[in-house]
Chain A
Amino acid sequence: GAVVSQHPSRVICKSGTSVKIECRSLDFQATTMFWYRQFPKQSLMLMATSNEGSKATYEQGVEKDKFLINHASLTLSTLTVTSAHPEDSSFYICSAPNPRAGVESPLHFGNGTRLTVT
């Protein structure tokens, strides 16, 4: 079964509103989670690294005030797209490494969230 749960799977919102996406690790504690964005027919681009108990680390070109990340517990990271605009429409995917495994072990991915901003 899934070890990383992402919710919602699909969301449609109006321009200017904010949307929160949750990513939960189900049977392990994740001090680090990663948020990716995937535009249609494109690859996954790392947006930020979510760190439990500290500030997220954003990749170059990603607006931290636009994409708010909160990692309040060892099993939950949230990504909030603030004041969403149509260009934010995308597929957002979270992932988490199992800290009991080494870095060479695969990340566990959520099933993604399809965000459509109208």
Chain B
Amino acid sequence: AQSVTQLGSHVSVSEGALVLLRCNYSSSVPPYLFWYVQYPNQGLQLLLKYTTGATLVKGINGFEAEFKKSETSFHLTKPSAHMSDAAEYFCAVIPDSSYKLIFGSGTRLLVRP
């Protein structure tokens, strides 16, 4: 079965520092990959997605992610953290044509002033 693993339930960085949130997936074929952000008591907002084509994907709010097939990874990065980036981040995958999103366990990003 398809699964998504997010390493680190909490990541803490200083404002202005690099943000790196890790995501690995298990799949025998390249899936569709997504990163979502969730603010408290709110729904999910799409940050970026990978479907086909360029493996480096740029999203909103300065985030980007790189699809690495050899490593089955789709890590999320941002060069410089902002206080407003503090939130929960979910990596997700659609492994087939069902539209069903399978979510990772989430990583809470804390940004220190």
Contact = CB atoms under 8 A, between A and B. Distances in A.
A43 B94 contact: no
Given A93-B43, A93-B44, A104-B32, A46 B101 contact: yes
Interface centre among B46, B51, B52, B99 (most CB of A within 10 A): B99
B90 interface: yes
A95 interface: yes
Contacts of A44: 44, 90, 101, 103
Contacts of A107: 99, 101
B101 A34 contact: yes
Mostly helix, strand, loop or mixed at chain B's interface? loop
A53 interface: no
Contacts of A34: 99-101
Given A93-B43, A110-B43, A103 B94 contact: yes
Contacts of B41: 91, 112, 114
Nearest to A114: B41
Interface in B86-104: 90, 94, 96-104
A32 to B, nearest CB: 6
Interface of B: 32, 34, 41-46, 49, 51-52, 90, 94, 96-106, 108
Given A34-B99, A46-B101, A103-B97, 15 more contacts: A6-B43, A34-B100, A34-B101, A43-B103, A44-B103, A95-B101, A103-B32, A103-B94, A104-B32, A104-B51, A107-B99, A107-B101, A109-B44, A109-B45, A112-B42
Give 9 nearest A-B pairs by CB, closest first: A104-B51, A109-B43, A111-B43, A97-B99, A106-B46, A109-B44, A104-B32, A43-B105, A43-B103
